[in-house]
Amino acid sequence: MSLEKTLKQKAKEVKKYRTLLFPLLGYNVITGFNIYETKQPTESKFILNYLHSDLDENKSHRQELEEKLKAFFNTLSFRKITFEKIDRHTAYKLKKGWEAQKYYNISGEELKGKELGRARFLNETIIGAAYQNDLEMPIDSINDLKKILEIFRKHCNFYLIDKNKGTYVKSKKGNKLRNRQRIVDSWEIPLIILKSEEELNLISFPKVDEIKIEKDSFFIDIIADNRTKILTEFLQKCGEFPNSNRAYANKSFIDWINKGIYSRKYRTFLKTFKSF
């Protein structure tokens, strides 16, 4: 069964989690979350998940990425690299210029037409929702992992990323420099998640918490860092007891989710929020 069919069958439960989690996006506790269909975990020493909206085989972004990998590895090595496209449903706090398939306010009410235009005009928090994909790659060697991460750094970032620090390269005036080697439709803030049986010591991929709410046929996945305690306390108050797993993510993404502090209004919301 496809993820879309699964979520349609579980529409009432999915709506419950929208109501539960959307306010956290509005109050800057989290920046987004993903819903996946339950599946057997991939077995490998290292797992790389690259999250993007254009990972079908006929999409230019996917094709150009594979060409970069082929150019970097010899033919035999490239055949050893396998790709699995995994469907996900994502919800995220919109930045200016970002688009989605559906739009909501933090109460979980869908915004269309004039209501959406008004929310944008008033600079209100708008949450985008869409079906997107992961490209999952099992990798057996740390050397191959580092080589592949270098390809993503060079070609899948809209802005230049420092090779050693994982931070944006900026001009003397403090502006982020555009990456001239990027492939088509590279994101301003891409997301690459690593999972490993062993501790990774990669400056550009710090450790993060992967928070999972697991249900019968789907699970909700949230990447958290310095908001982990606030998030888990809230979920426990609502009767949810998520699993927390070790993962690693690109530093530019982590810096973005940690940007600023959560809204003071969150404490008021927490006092008045009624659990399900």
pLDDT in tens, 169-204: 999 999 999 999 999 999 999 999 999 988 999 999
Which has the higher per-residue pLDDT, 274 or 225? Answer: 225
Q: Closest by alpha carbon to 3, among 127, 108, 132, 99?
A: 132
Burial class (CB in 10 A: 0-12, 13-18, 19+), 157: buried
| Contact in structure between 154 and 181 (CB atoms under 8 Å) | yes
- The answer on pLDDT for 208 being more than 70 is yes
The pLDDT value recorded for residue 131 is 95
- The answer on pLDDT for 276 being more than 60 is no
Coil, helix or strand for 90?
Answer: strand
Mean pLDDT throughout 62-81? 81
What is the rounded average pLDDT for all residues in the chain? 90
Which has the higher per-residue pLDDT, 147 or 79? Answer: 147
Q: Closest by alpha carbon to 158, among 250, 28, 72?
A: 250
Token pair belonging to 204: 């550009």
Cα-trace Rg, the chain:
19
**Across 100-114, 136-150, 195-209, 250-264, least confident range:** 250-264
The pLDDT value recorded for residue 270 is 73
Q: How many CB atoms lie within 10 A of CB 201?
A: 8
The pLDDT value recorded for residue 79 is 65
The pLDDT value recorded for residue 268 is 74
**Which backbone phi and psi does 164 adopt, to 5 degrees?**
-90, -35
- The answer on pLDDT for 78 being more than 80 is no
- With a pLDDT cut of 90, the percent of the chain lying above it is 71
The pLDDT-based confidence of 263 (bands split at 50, 70, 90) is low
- DSSP codes, 231-242: HHHHHHHTT---
- The answer on pLDDT for 265 being more than 80 is no
Mean pLDDT throughout 99-109? 93
| Contact in structure between 89 and 131 (CB atoms under 8 Å) | yes
The pLDDT value recorded for residue 70 is 86
Q: What is the separation of C-alpha 130 from the centre of its chain, rounded to a whole number of angstroms?
A: 12
**Across 37-46, 67-76, 141-150, 251-260, least confident range:** 67-76
| Contact in structure between 260 and 28 (CB atoms under 8 Å) | yes
